[in-house]
Amino acid sequence: MKRFSAVLMMTALVNTAQGETNTPFDIKGTSLSELMSLKITSLSKKKQQLNRAPAAVYVLSSDEIQRMGVTHIAEALRFVPGVEVAKVDSSRWAIGIRGFTSRASNKLLVMIDGRSIYSPFFSGVLWEEKDVVLADVDRIEVIRGPGGAVWGANAVNGIINIISKNSSKTVGTLVEGKVTSEQNGMIQARQGWKVSTDSYLRFYVKQRERSDTGHDVTNDDSLHRQAGFRFDHNFDPKTSLTLQGDIYRGEIGSMNTTEQPAGQKQHGGNFLMNWSHSATSDRRHGFQAFYDATDLEVTGLQDRRNTLDVSYQVQQNWSQNELVVGAGYRRVRDDVDTMFISPEHRTNETFNAFFQNDLALMKDLHFIFGTKYEDNDYTGSEWQPNVRLSYFVWDSLLWTSWSKAVRVPTRLETDITIPGLNGDKFTSEEATVYEFGWRKRWSTMLQTDITLYQSDYDSLLSLELDGIRNKLAGRTRGVEISASIQPMKEWLLRINMSHAEMDLDADHDSFDFSDSESQEDGMPQNMAQLSSLLDIAEDWQLNAYLRYVDSIETNNIESYMVGDLSLVWKINDSLTANLTGKNIGDGSHEEWTSGVPVDDEYGLSLKWEMP
């Protein structure tokens, strides 16, 4: 019935298109020069140009995301170098950076507009319960490597920050629907208004539905519904306020069945306030607060969680310095109803403070240093320092860094009561990371980006006879290469490749030998992606994507190479059609779970947008 309503809406959109006059695309945000000029904020909590950012940074622009024809954040992340994205089943994902990928990738910090969606219960992100209207996403900033000096604990191997558009850019009506050959559907609508000269507002609703995998996997169908808003107001040219929030409800499979995988239900909501004020041209204040409530239910466990987070920062520029200083407080109160977690209720508090200074030793030679201090209820004090050096010369940015980051224990690891799994002596996992990067603009048609890294891990989680301990250590080494080529104005190619090797060992007194081997063999050593974005006519786009992922021996997953295609037709000023084909070329392959195939899938989406 829900799919029928989506098809009905799409038919209505086609009818709306009849009689309209064809107009050319308004292509923005995909040319090479525009991509390199993008301003990012996730690296240092200040605006800086992408081609001058001394880190392994990759940005997916709004235009790129729209061309892909994807309906979920996870699908968009498939084409970021060094990011491993795998479908666990029809509705769940495993996403990680530089190894340790799993459903609970505990060394990856993910945010939406600066609001952390990392779960302190099990350490990780439940991607199936996190969603946005992708048409309202301004960009996705992905930083491979640690970010603990600015963002704190758990930003060990990478940061993903999904940044939505200011509501002044979404005035008007948007209705979009998509159906696919795999019985999946999505429908979303957004309405934006100009409330006053300086105020803008938008509301949205979205529903996403996926059928089960089929074959022998029949309990992973899902339904997710979400609604939200964003309000932006400029008090004056120097002061702005953003209020935004979302509510959602979803379920996967059935809870009342013995079929696998087990079902789950989730619902929740959040509210965020962001205020900024530029006191002078050299001083800028920022204050952010958010409240997040989540309720997750799986067989034998219900986790209700309420998070309050407030933070303040000020950026002060003087002489050759750009200093960012901040402090924050987070309070998490939970109610965990299960037989194997005690106590049932717990309230945790975290206090933090940080500074990051960018010192221009010369015009193009910068020394960046800083640290973040956190005091949490699990491990007490944690310091996460960071030092970077960058030099911009001959249209090249050379940079190197040394960083320390930690992953603090979770509620599940600390308070589990199952004999042999108790984690009351488990402490933080630590990483010391060395990176070297070279970003070169060869011409207006070619730019390359290379990063070499080594992450030395210490005190990693191990399973001992007396419970969870910290008796694994080792290192990961790798190289990440990306190239952006624009042979002509209408054609952009992006090529990404990554190679990584992991070597972990257990302490001499450890009884955990299987974990080190399973972690080493649990990551694909090689990954590669090729994206081709081509405007074949004024109102036609042909986009092609090819990706290769190496084998994952721990999960008994073979390597695979598949392609995606997207044909976009801008029918008129208001209506756009996108015909997509995904996972083409390797038949029914597996990505994460042995016995759970990922089939090729063809879909059609229609988007109607009126200013």
What pLDDT does residue 514 have? 65
Q: Torsion-angle region of residue 96: left (phi > 0), alpha (psi -120 to 50) or beta?
A: beta
Mean pLDDT computed over 464-472: 89
What pLDDT does residue 30 have? 59
Instruction: Give 130-185 pLDDT, tens digit per residue.
Output: 899 999 999 999 999 999 999 998 999 999 999 999 999 999 999 999 999 876 89
* C-alpha span between 326 and 355 (Å, rounded): 6
Q: Is 219 helix (H, G, I), strand (E, B) or coil?
A: coil
Mean pLDDT computed over 312-328: 95
Mean pLDDT, all residues of the chain? 89
Is 543:68 a contact under the CB 8 Å cutoff? yes
Instruction: Give 562-604 pLDDT, tens digit per residue.
Output: 999 999 999 999 999 999 999 998 778 999 988 888 999 999 9
- Proportion of the chain in helix, strand, coil states, percent, rounded to 5: 10, 60, 30
pTM of the model: 0.92
Is 513:466 a contact under the CB 8 Å cutoff? no
What pLDDT does residue 295 have? 96
pLDDT band at 513 (very low <50, low <70, confident <90, very high): low
* C-alpha span between 392 and 322 (Å, rounded): 17
Candidates 485, 398, 543, 439; CA nearest to 33 is 485
Candidates 419, 415, 429; CA nearest to 458 is 429
Strand (E) positions, 50-196? Answer: 56-61, 83-87, 93-97, 108-112, 115-116, 137-144, 158-164, 172-180, 185-196
What pLDDT does residue 122 have? 81
Is 568:577 a contact under the CB 8 Å cutoff? yes
pLDDT greater than 50 at residue 27:
no
pLDDT greater than 50 at residue 19:
no
- How far CA 358 is from CA of 38, 49, 220, 317, in Å, comes to 19, 14, 48, 9
Mean pLDDT computed over 117-132: 88
